[in-house]
């Protein structure tokens, strides 16, 4: 697998120096696995109204899956849910592009370090690695919101 070296450095840096790793207090969590690669992630979210106060996580697996969780933490903590959803949808669009989307400035502004995963979108098996923590985050957020309503 050959990635643009700058992008590869960003991914490896997040893998070696993960942001916000470790599980902390939260409203809800989701555990997702990617059996084709052996990746696992638990994502826990803490909301304050519409604001994401924290996204904590713990997991194991390949560098792409773990770096992606670190990028997710960096991008989403402190954002409101509407903005976070826009970021998640943009990332999903990039990852489902099969390498056809060349990130432009507008996309880079939304995704920041997450544009580094652009090269990964060419490898269908690795796309699941990159999306694992994002799907777990979406799941955990949905749980947190539905529990909030019933509380
Ligand atoms: Zn993986």
For residue 148, report the distance from its CA to the centre of ligand 1, in Å: 32
Question: How far apart are the CA of 50 and the centre of ligand 1, in A?
Answer: 31
Confidence label for 15 from pLDDT (cuts 50, 70 and 90): very high
Q: What is the pLDDT of residue 80?
A: 97
Q: CATH for 3-146? A: 3.90.1010.10
What is the distance in A from the centroid of ligand 1 to the CA of 126?
A: 6
Q: Nearest 5°: phi and psi at 40?
A: -135, 145
Ligand 1 centroid to 68 CA: how many Å? 10
- pLDDT (tens digit, 9 = 90+) per residue, 29-65? 999 999 999 999 999 999 999 999 999 999 999 999 9
Distance CA 39, CA 37 (A): 6
- Per-residue model confidence as pLDDT tens digits over 95-140: 999 989 889 999 999 999 999 999 899 998 899 999 999 999 999 9
Which residue shows structure tokens 């056809």? 100
Annotated domain spans of the chain: 3-146
Determine the distance separating the centroid of ligand 1 and the alpha carbon of 49, expressed in angstroms.
Answer: 33
CA neighbours closer than 13 Å in the CB half-sphere of residue 34: 25
> Rounded to whole angstroms, how far apart are CA atoms 18 and 66?
8
């Amino acid at each position: 697998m050959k990635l643009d070296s700058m992008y590869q450095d960003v991914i490896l840096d997040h893998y070696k120096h993960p942001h916000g790793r470790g599980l902390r207090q939260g409203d809800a969590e989701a555990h997702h696995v990617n059996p084709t690669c052996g990746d696992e992630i638990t994502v826990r979210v803490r909301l304050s109204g519409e604001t994401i106060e924290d996204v904590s996580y713990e997991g194991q697996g390949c560098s792409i899956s773990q770096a992606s969780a670190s990028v997710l933490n960096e991008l989403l903590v402190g954002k409101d849910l509407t903005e976070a959803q826009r970021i998640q949808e943009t990332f999903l669009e990039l990852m489902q592009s099969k390498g056809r989307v060349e990130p432009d400035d507008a996309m880079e502004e939304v995704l920041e370090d997450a544009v580094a995963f652009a090269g990964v979108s060419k490898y269908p098996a690795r796309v699941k690695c990159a999306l694992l923590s994002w799907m777990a985050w979406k799941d955990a957020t949905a749980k947190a919101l539905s529990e909030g309503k019933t509380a």
